[in-house]
A and B are shown apart, each in its own frame.
Chain A
Amino acid sequence: MDRAFPMSDSLQRTPLYDLNLELGAKMVPFAGFEMPIQFPAGLMTEHLHTREKAGLFDVSHMGQIRIAAKSGDVKDAAAALETLVPADYVGLAAGRQRYGLLTNEEGGILDDLMVANMGKDLLVVVNAGCKVQDAERIEKALSDRCVVTRQFDRALMALQGPAAEAALAPLCPAVKDMRFMDVIETELATATGSVPVTVSRSGYTGEDGFEIGCAGTDADRVARAILAQPDVLPIGLGARDSLRLEAGLCLYGNDIDVTTTPVEASLGWAIQKARREGGVREGGYPGADIVLKQTRDGVARKRVGLVADGRAPVRAGAKLFADAEGQKEIGVVTSGAFGPSVKAPVAMGYVTPEYAAVDTPVFAELRGKYVPLHVRAMPFVAPGFKR
């Protein structure tokens, strides 16, 4: 067994670093941060606990950015952001959140993000590893019309699972009235007084739950207040990855990157009608010509879900074949793990379109053998969202 996790001096720490250590976290470097990969309960227990009760994740490494239009009208900020993202944000109502993709001139994906209409401005949440370049890109493109504010010192935590509402409501009663993808600004009661928070009813696990943003200086008492609720355990990035994979959600850098387009990534649903061919604001984002053409004419590969027939996990990087002899290569696995809730190895990857239909048998190269899998619909687990 090899293991080497050298902790570099240059790694950043989230506002919950001390609490994570106090809770017994095993820390690893991730996207330039020292992050908890697991807590003493262990990945398997953390995963299953989140599906059955509720788990609290420190995701403060992610970037929060506010975009306010100089005109004062949030619709102008939304229209400006639409020049970078092929989603309908002009049509996004106040108090609602929507997934989106930052594209480049080739239609490749620079990052995926969540955008919320906060009424007076937009709140954007981006991936940790991309946040500086995302902020630079947004500032460069929008600063004539908008004030773009990096809030990288803010904390973000996700409370996920069927018991999430019951755990959060005593501290933050307004969350009871929220539906999936609602977002509000409210106050959360801690042992030392109430603090202002942003709350969205969303997450990265396929479960009902919330993401709670607060000032970095308030993060410790907010997290302690939530962890003091019944049924809440701290959860590390290890379980976060297996949970999101079972939910069929992409990990930026693995399943999507600058070499994949929204169409290839099977993320066409993230481009709403208004931005598609014939829509009221068709195109108008980087790489739109390529994405529109691919939507029309098809692509050479598609992202699909995969479930192994056997018990051996198939990991990222495994080559995919049409046959059990490894004669015809048809794609590659981009994420793979054992799915604790599915109770089988699950994966996602790219295959040529003729092998992308649900229930198509394919084979993955694994230690010199070819193990059978089937293309399956995602998510691999039933979503628990409160619609």
Chain B
Amino acid sequence: MTTYYTKSHEWIRVDGDQGTVGITAHASEELGELVFVEAKDEGTEVAAGDAAAVVESVKAASDIYAPVAGTLAGFNDALSDDPTLVGKDPEGEGWIFRMTVANPDDLKGLLTAEQYKSL
């Protein structure tokens, strides 16, 4: 499994064409405590950069973008009960949605952990 990052502070962990997406620890810290998280319905087709989910703090809503093109394959239901899970473990238990990656070659255009850190 490899984890890639976006300039808009998402991460995607990929196993074959199955990806898990969340927001980075840096993004989570910037947003503060979350009060609501929601992803688009399973089966929704998204292009790279499309809003696939939304995370909300008390004051603001922020879109979470699909890192690459694909099909949404499920939401982290644990976040419905406890959206603060994102803040507690943004790159683990606080994952947001899964997706089937349309073209795994697209992942090469994303950032490595090293590249993201140096932003």
| Cβ-based interface call for A337 (8 A) | yes
A42-B32, A43-B57, A340-B58 known; A1-B38 Cβ under 8 A: no
In the complex, the number of residue pairs spanning A and B with C-beta atoms less than 8 Å apart equals 56
Shortest beta-carbon distance from A61 to chain B in Å: 18
Tell me the complex Cα distance, A340–B58, Å. 7
| Cβ-based interface call for B63 (8 A) | yes
| Cβ-based interface call for B111 (8 A) | no
A241-B59, A338-B58 known; A43-B27 Cβ under 8 A: no
| Cβ-based interface call for B56 (8 A) | yes
Shortest beta-carbon distance from B97 to chain A in Å: 15
The interface residues of chain B lying within 8 Å CB-to-CB of A241 are 59
Shortest beta-carbon distance from A42 to chain B in Å: 5
The chain B residue with its CB closest to the CB of A37 is: B59
Q: Which of A115-123, A284-292, A311-319 contacts B (4 or more CB under 8 A)?
A: A311-319
Count of A interface residues, CB-CB < 8 Å: 20
| Cβ-based interface call for A200 (8 A) | no
The interface residues of chain A lying within 8 Å CB-to-CB of B62 are 1-2
| Cβ-based interface call for B35 (8 A) | yes
Tell me the complex Cα distance, A317–B83, Å. 24
Q: Tell whether, in the assembled complex, residue B64 and residue A1 are in contact, meaning their CB atoms are under 8 Å apart.
A: yes
Q: A3-B30, A42-B33, A340-B35 are in contact. List 10 more A-B contacts (CB 8 A).
A: A1-B63, A2-B63, A44-B33, A311-B36, A312-B56, A313-B36, A337-B58, A338-B56, A338-B57, A367-B38
Q: Which residues of A contact B (CB under 8 A)?
A: 1-3, 38, 42-44, 47, 238, 241-242, 311-313, 315, 337-338, 340, 345, 367
Q: Which residues of B contact A (CB under 8 A)?
A: 8-9, 23, 27, 30-33, 35-36, 38, 54, 56-59, 61-64, 80, 83
6 contacts between A and B (CB under 8 A): A42-B32, A44-B58, A312-B36, A313-B35, A313-B56, A367-B38
